[in-house]
A and B are shown apart, each in its own frame.
Chain A
Amino acid sequence: MLGLTLVVTIGKYLLLAGLYAFVFVVFRGMMGQIAAESARATEGGRRGRRREVASRRAIMPQVTTRPARPPRAASPPAPEPALERAPQAAQQAPPAREASAPEAAPEPVAPAETPPAAPPAPAAPHLRVLESDDERLSAGDTLPLSAAVTIGRSDENSVRLSDRFVSSRHALICLRDGRRLLVDRGSTNGTFLNGERVEEEVELHDGDRIAMGNTVFEYHVG
């Protein structure tokens, strides 16, 4: 009986030791993986690229359509007509993106992907760029509008403008009760609709001119 108690007691310590060994191995392994990943990220790897891609996506209409997704996925109806109307742009885009897929491959400069002669004309609500300081935007580019699009200088915006007269969180264009609204998010230099400064929010109509900093957009319903 004493022998059994002894065995069970020793076993208890061994089990505790084993449990801690397991915890240690898992912990070290997980942290090791995280360290390796962040090292890759600082070399311009995944995370660095993710941010760059995110801002590029917001600006490039071709990239906002999701060609890699199977068509059965319920994506908003907007991208489909865009693809049909601009077959050349749509066909051009995927190979270019596949070529950039390998690790740390430099992203092609955004405007290179756009055939300058024939910018696509989406049927969905969109903004057309009239003037911009941002070298990634040129006059005539279109930006499709989802239910809510934020515009500003910081990375978190769905449309990022590198324009030093644009605030980091500058404006919002959103759909509310079927009306498309332009909301100024307390910007320093103001948001202007057809030359008048927007106080808080204002409804948008087809052909309206939206200006912020050195950037001018034109709003189109379709």
Chain B
Amino acid sequence: MIPRSQRTELALLLFAAALVGFGAALVCLGMGFPVWRVTRALAVVGAFIAGAMMLDLADPRRDRWLLPIMAAISGVGFLLLWQLDGGSASRQIVWMITGAGIMVAVYYLIEDVRDLARLKYTSGVLALVLVGLTLAFGVEKGGARLWLAIPGVIMFQPTEPVKVLMCIFLAGYVADRRELLREDTHRVAGFQMPRARHIAPLLLMVIFALTIFVGQRDLGAAVLFFGLFVAMAYLATGRKSYSILALVLFAGGAVGAYHAFPHVAARVDMWLNPWADPENRGYQILQSMFALAEGGLVGTGFATGGGDTIPAATTDLIFAVGAQQFGLLGAVAIVVLYALAAHRSFSIAWRATDNFGALLAAALAVVFSLQTLVILGGVTRLIPLTGITLPFMSYGGTSVIVNFIALALLLAISRDCTPHRPPGEVLPR
């Protein structure tokens, strides 16, 4: 007899599969595809179902809500991608299946998440090396040097793995020094600040990463990493003064970047007034706005075009396509799904039984939510648009695989939350 929580998860996954299968049938009908191609969309959700079953073979005590939510998000994303670009969609299926396989492998390999804490410096150095290599040897695509390639072998976006590596580094470093950061403080200009020797390696690392990202023109990633750093400082110490200080720094940095880097200024100007240059620099954001407007309340439905005119429709701006086809109602449903996934991730962090696990889960949750927020805010013109992928929805091999790895880490941390462990395991140090 399958335990109840496992049945709930399976039922939800099948629900998501039915939903996506129905949507796929509509796409086939509207686009004139043969009906058997519905299986392509089902393969995406199927990867999650197979993954869930294989995870249970290793250790069934884990979170039961994240996988169904991600399966639904991925499925809906795939339906949009499918109509936009058949070739990308085919590759996306391969990435999803590979990603699910890697998720299972990571979950099997990590016996105890705390073992990752020993790899904190390795991850930190690896992250910096990846970023440095991209800066030196990166391939430029669309005005930003984001790709690293070993010619003929592999080509990937280092920003994506660097996200997870930085999470591991920050969580490990901060977990070790939590009390030092919180208590061994002195007063600087009315703020309780940690002593330089505790915080310097952290600051150095973050400043280095940020400089490189700004140099790389990957502003989305820069914002993401800064946000992650601030969140970690607050989570570890519970001191609001750090957050306030960081916000002040951020405001100063933002103004400085606006004046120092023309590409930053261009982004902000296009956000404030896209009509200043509608054919060129303002084109992307305006097309996104048009798509949202055309969607209205309930959307135009599948196979009604849309997305053909939006630049980067399959990756960064896929949400605009979704909003056009499913309207405000569909867009809100997707946002709620992301919010539920974020809630679940933070909830795993909150229940984690040790500092490192809790901080790592929180870091991954922060990255996930912040990334979603930055791109959704950009697409809807709430904040300046910066190129960054929408987790599990955007097309992209590196993005999909790294998201699955992050998911595997969260699920592995959730194993520790079960009440079966002896109570002495709780809160070391």
Q: Do A and B bind each other?
A: yes
Q: Which residues of A contact B (CB under 8 A)?
A: 4, 7-9, 11-16, 18-23, 25-27, 29-30, 34, 45-46, 49-50, 53-54, 57, 63-64, 66-69, 73-74, 97-98, 100-101, 103, 107, 146-150, 158, 169, 172, 174, 176-177, 183, 185
Q: Which residue of A lies closest to B15 (CB)?
A: A22
| Distance (whole angstroms) from the CB of A206 to the closest CB of chain B | 22
Are the CB atoms of A68 and B326 closer together than 8 Å? no
* Contact residues in A for B299 (Cβ distance below 8 Å): 12, 16
Q: Which residue of B lies closest to A156 (CB)?
A: B238
Are the CB atoms of A22 and B16 closer together than 8 Å? yes
Are the CB atoms of A12 and B26 closer together than 8 Å? yes
Are the CB atoms of A11 and B8 closer together than 8 Å? no
B422 interface hit (Cβ, 8 Å): yes
Q: Which residue of B lies closest to A14 (CB)?
A: B22
Q: Which residues of B contact A (CB under 8 A)?
A: 8, 12, 15-16, 18-19, 22-23, 25-26, 29-30, 65, 68-69, 72, 76, 112, 114-115, 118, 176-180, 183-184, 195, 197, 298-299, 301-304, 325-326, 329-330, 333, 336-337, 340, 343-344, 347, 353, 419-429
Partner of A103, one of B76, B302, B347, B419: B419
Partner of A26, one of B25, B68, B179, B423: B68
The 10 closest A-B pairs by CB, nearest first: A148-B179, A12-B301, A11-B26, A172-B183, A53-B423, A19-B333, A18-B19, A54-B427, A148-B180, A53-B426
Are the CB atoms of A54 and B183 closer together than 8 Å? no
Are the CB atoms of A8 and B302 closer together than 8 Å? yes
| Distance (whole angstroms) from the CB of A178 to the closest CB of chain B | 12
Q: Which residue of A lies closest to B330 (CB)?
A: A16
> Chain A binding site: helix, strand, loop or mixed by DSSP?
helix
A183 to B184, CA, bound (A): 8
Are the CB atoms of A98 and B422 closer together than 8 Å? yes
Are the CB atoms of B303 and A8 closer together than 8 Å? yes
| Distance (whole angstroms) from the CB of A43 to the closest CB of chain B | 13
Q: Which residue of A lies closest to B11 (CB)?
A: A25
A-B contact pairs, 23 of them (CB 8 A): A8-B29, A8-B30, A15-B19, A15-B26, A16-B298, A16-B326, A19-B76, A20-B333, A21-B15, A22-B72, A26-B337, A27-B340, A46-B419, A57-B424, A66-B428, A73-B112, A97-B423, A98-B422, A103-B419, A150-B183, A172-B179, A176-B184, A176-B197
Q: Which residue of B lies closest to A148 (CB)?
A: B179
A98 to B421, CA, bound (A): 9
Q: A8-B303, A22-B16 are in contact. Are A67 and B424 (CB under 8 A)?
A: yes
Q: Which residue of A lies closest to B341 (CB)?
A: A26
Partner of A8, one of B69, B301, B421, B425: B301
Extra contacts besides A57-B427, A73-B114, A74-B118 (14): CB < 8 Å: A8-B26, A11-B301, A15-B19, A15-B23, A16-B298, A23-B336, A26-B12, A34-B347, A50-B426, A66-B425, A107-B423, A174-B183, A176-B195, A177-B197
* Contact residues in B for A64 (Cβ distance below 8 Å): 428
Q: Which residue of B lies closest to A4 (CB)?
A: B29
Are the CB atoms of A30 and B344 closer together than 8 Å? yes
A34 to B343, CA, bound (A): 11
Among B76, B178, B353, B429, the one with the most A-chain Cβ atoms within 10 Å of its Cβ is B429
* Contact residues in A for B333 (Cβ distance below 8 Å): 16, 19-20, 23
Are the CB atoms of A23 and B340 closer together than 8 Å? yes
* Contact residues in A for B65 (Cβ distance below 8 Å): 26, 29-30
A13 to B23, CA, bound (A): 11
* Contact residues in B for A19 (Cβ distance below 8 Å): 19, 72, 76, 326, 330, 333
Are the CB atoms of B336 and A68 closer together than 8 Å? no
Are the CB atoms of B12 and A25 closer together than 8 Å? yes
| Distance (whole angstroms) from the CB of B170 to the closest CB of chain A | 18
Are the CB atoms of A158 and B179 closer together than 8 Å? yes
